[in-house]
Every structure is written in C-alpha cells, then in structure tokens.
Amino acid sequence: MKNTLYLLLLFLATNTLESQIKHGLRDDLGRHVIPRGFVIITDAGDFKSEDFVRMVRMGANYQVVRLELGRLSNFPGAKLEESYLNQLEELVTLGKKVGIKTVFKMTVYGVDKFSWEEFWLNKKDEHSTYINAWKEVWNRFKNEEFVVGYDVVNEPRKLTMDISYNELTSNYLIPVYQKIIDESHKINPDKKILIQSIFMNKGEGIDNNQYAEITKSVNRENIVFSPHIYQNKEDLVAPVMNRFDKESAMLNAPILIGEWGFPTFATTDTTLVGNLGQYKYRELYIKTAEVFDKMGVGSIKAWFSGNSKMQNFMAGGPSTWAIFSDKNAVGTTERKYITDIIARPYPQIIAGTINSFMFDFATRTLDVHLKTDNSKGASQIFIGANRHYPDGFSILCGEDVVLVYNPLKNVGLELVKGIENTSISNFIWNENYQQLTILKWPENNANLNLKIVPGIYKN
C-alpha cells in the first residue's frame, strides 16, 4: 500500500512538472533566457581566455563566482583585499568576452570561526558588517551589465540554535534577506537577488534533500529562488523539484538551480558499474537533467575545476564536485560521464517565449516549443555538435523550414527547404562556440516547433 501511494505521488509530481516551465528570467531585451553554467571557485587557479571558451563549448552562458567573505570584510581574521576585487573584475571580463554573464555568491570562507548563531542574533551588528562586504562588490559592478545578480547568503545554517527551521526562516532568515535586498536595491536596483533556504543539519534532511522549506514570502521585487540539489536517488529528483516549485510560486520568484550534481567519488573514474559506477552517475544526471528541462529551469553545476583536492566526509570515501579529473587547479580532462550530460543542447536565449523544451538523449533530439517575437532581437541555441552530432545535424523550424550542417562538406549551414523569403543569412552557426544564432524567425508571433536532430535531412 505504501509503495502504491508513493508511486502515485511520484506520478503526480512528475506530471505536474511538465506544465510548470518558468517564464520569469528575461534579459534586458525581454528575451526568454535559460541560464546554464558553472560555479567558479576563486582559489581554484588562474583562469585564462581559453578556459572560458571551453565553458561556452560546454553550453555555459552564466558563471556563478564564489566569493570569500574573509577577503571582503572586517570580520575576525578577514581583510578587504583590493587584489581580490581585481581578480573578480578579471573573471567578469573573461566571461563577457565570450558572452557569459556573472552572478556573485557569498560564502563565509576565510573568516575565523564564523558563527551562524551569532550572525542571526546580530548582537555585534554582524548584519552591517556582512552588508558592507557586499557593498564593495555592489559598488564595483553596479554599472556592469554582464553582472546580472547576487546570491547573497550561501547555504545558511542553524547548527546549535534551539529553534525550528520554520522559526529560523521566518524570524531570522527572511528579515536578513529583506535587509540585504533593500540595501542592494539602493545601489543597483536592476540586479537580481538570489535567495536560498536553510541548509539543515546532518541527518535532518527530507527525501535526501538537505534544504529546509521556505514557508514565508520575502515580499521583495527582482528576486530569484536559487535552491541547491545534490540528490543521489533518481526517484526523488522530481518530488524535491516539485517542492521547490511550490516555494517558487509562494515567493513569486523564478527558479535558478544554484548548484547541482551529486559529488563524484575517487573510485568512480575507474569503476564502470556498481553503486558508485559511471553508468549510475550518467543515469542519475540524465534523470536530473530531464526534470530540469521539463520545468524549464536554469542550472549551475559545481564546479568548473580540476581534482586538485578531494573532500572526505561521505561514506563512499574521498569525493569531489570537480568536473575534470586531472590534478590541475582549473583542469582540462573531462569526466565525460558527467560533462556530456551537462553539455546537452538547449535554447539559451529566445526572442519570444519558450513553452517547453527537452533533449532526448536516446534519439539525440532537441525539441523546443515556443512563441516567436522578432521585435526582441536574435535567438541563440546551444547545440554542442562536437559531442552530440559528429555526423552532422538538421534544424527543423516548423514543417516548412529546414537547414542542415554537414561536417564533411565544410560549407556551413545549408537551407534545404524554406518558405517564401526564408533567408539563410538569418541562421548563423558558430563552430568555435557550438552555438546557433537565429537573427529572425521565419514567421513572427507564431507558435513554432523547433527541432535539432542528428544526421542530414533530405527532402
């Protein structure tokens, strides 16, 4: 009986997700944006231009740069470092050159014995000290359009406080968010503010989800709900995401998954099958990706780095979130059983509204349903042909317009079927970035089914 009830709930959750795509993330031109990218760790090493090109070729259009409070504040053991601000500026510039936008996320690393309990109680005006650290960043980037938002409190904790998670959220977390948001909007009101929920103490998670539910609205504009999901049970991905969706509706804030992807164990790189094997990871990541795409949410993968160090706090042994297996701090040797799922085709920017999209890994088909709006400019699709279409691909814009890319002919895109006035010049394939740009849809203000399929279409 219990199994039957669980399967019914899972069925309802999964089918609810299909109709809950979010339309809240738009750029300055009003285009529908699906953010994808990576968490960048500022102490992972020196990033170069070619690293950001590799990000783009893996489908990134966003980066989330992890800030260290210890290098931006005057908390105990901390110190504001001008060189650190310069480093942040360099990361923004590197991203900007290849079309990657930046979100900054504050962690409490670098502070001597940071106390969440003392932070919530605010007896020494810790909130002002924290906000002053943010002001260094806000003022530095207030006029930079490629800095789009701030994830203001990363994985806030309860720890030893004798209080429920609901009480901590309502009485402390929400007021802190309101205080931070109000100060941020004084400096850069157009930037998005990303919010998270309380990271629960070890062993207190629900459905393998370590993040407490937010049950009270923040009542502020221009916010984004940015939960993390490190789920290792396939059947729990949809129910957890469904809970996030309900929180998103209550907050009146679209979802951007701030971190995701169960960590990789040291043994996984050499183990194909079994509980920690590569096939299991591939299956888990595909299931998670499918749920994300059904909901239409953006997602940020931790981390764009190499295996310079591993953590050892899980039963499976040493583990890491790094997507590269080599020992270099930045890394170049991909964990393909992870990265090929991350780098799946998707609509990055759409002039119009995305109604649904999905990449089918079995058939290698990207299926996008959208409403076109040429007044908003160009659209951009990440295709990742080097991974998913080495045999070439076809672009089906509805039933009447078809273009093909044949890697053997070296002539770029070819228009093989088109309605009147369809121009090949409106379709641009960027081999270096693995992106398709559509300057103008064949039909304006129309419902369109866009497909990317493997192989060369023949009329």
Structural domains in the chain, CATH included, are 2-343 (3.20.20.80), 352-454 (no CATH)
Amino acid 271: pLDDT? 93
pLDDT at 4 > cutoff 70: no
Residue 290: DSSP 8-state = H
Q: pLDDT band for position 13 (50/70/90)?
A: very low
Q: pLDDT band for position 290 (50/70/90)?
A: very high
* Span 310-339, pLDDT tens digits: 888 888 889 999 999 998 889 999 999 999
Amino acid 329: pLDDT? 87
Residue reference for tokens 């996008």? 368
Percent helix, strand, coil in the chain, to 5, is: 30, 25, 45
Amino acid 21: pLDDT? 65
Residue 318: DSSP 8-state = S
**134: cis peptide before it, omega within 30°?**
no
Give the residue from 50, 59, 69, 51 showing the smallest Cα distance to 152.
69
Q: What is the DSSP string of 26-60?
A: B-TT--EE--EEEEEETTS----HHHHHHHHHTT-
Q: Is 253 left (phi over 0), alpha (psi -120 to 50) or beta?
A: beta
Amino acid 85: pLDDT? 98
Rg (CA), the chain: 22
Report how far apart, in Å, the C-alpha atoms of 216 and of each of 220, 250, 251 are.
12, 8, 8
Residue reference for tokens 């089906």? 396
pLDDT at 247 > cutoff 50: yes
Q: pLDDT band for position 206 (50/70/90)?
A: confident
For helices 234-251 and 278-295, angle between their N-to-C axes, nearest 10 degrees: 30
Amino acid 308: pLDDT? 81
Give the residue from 5, 1, 341, 6 showing the smallest Cα distance to 207.
6
* Span 49-83, pLDDT tens digits: 999 999 999 999 999 999 999 999 999 999 999 99
More confident residue, 24 or 456: 456
Q: pLDDT band for position 97 (50/70/90)?
A: very high
Chain-wide mean pLDDT for the chain?
A: 93
More confident residue, 342 or 9: 342
Q: pLDDT band for position 7 (50/70/90)?
A: very low
More confident residue, 307 or 287: 287
Amino acid 293: pLDDT? 95
Amino acid 205: pLDDT? 87
Amino acid 18: pLDDT? 45
- Alpha-carbon gap, residue 362 to 340, rounded angstroms: 13
Task: Looking at 192-253, list the stretches that DSSP marks H as alpha helix, in order from N- to C-terminal side.
Answer: 234-251
pLDDT at 9 > cutoff 60: no
Amino acid 6: pLDDT? 36
Q: Please list the residues that pair with 33 across neighbouring strands.
A: 349
Amino acid 16: pLDDT? 44
* Span 156-203, pLDDT tens digits: 999 999 999 999 999 999 999 999 999 999 999 999 999 999 999 988
Q: Is the Cα dihedral 95, 96, 102, 104 positive or negative?
A: positive
pLDDT at 24 > cutoff 80: no
3-state secondary structure of 356: strand
- Alpha-carbon gap, residue 223 to 151, rounded angstroms: 10
Comparing 14-23, 179-188, 198-207, 422-431, the range with the smallest average pLDDT is: 14-23
pLDDT at 8 > cutoff 60: no
Q: pLDDT band for position 23 (50/70/90)?
A: low
* Span 432-454, pLDDT tens digits: 999 999 999 999 999 999 999 99
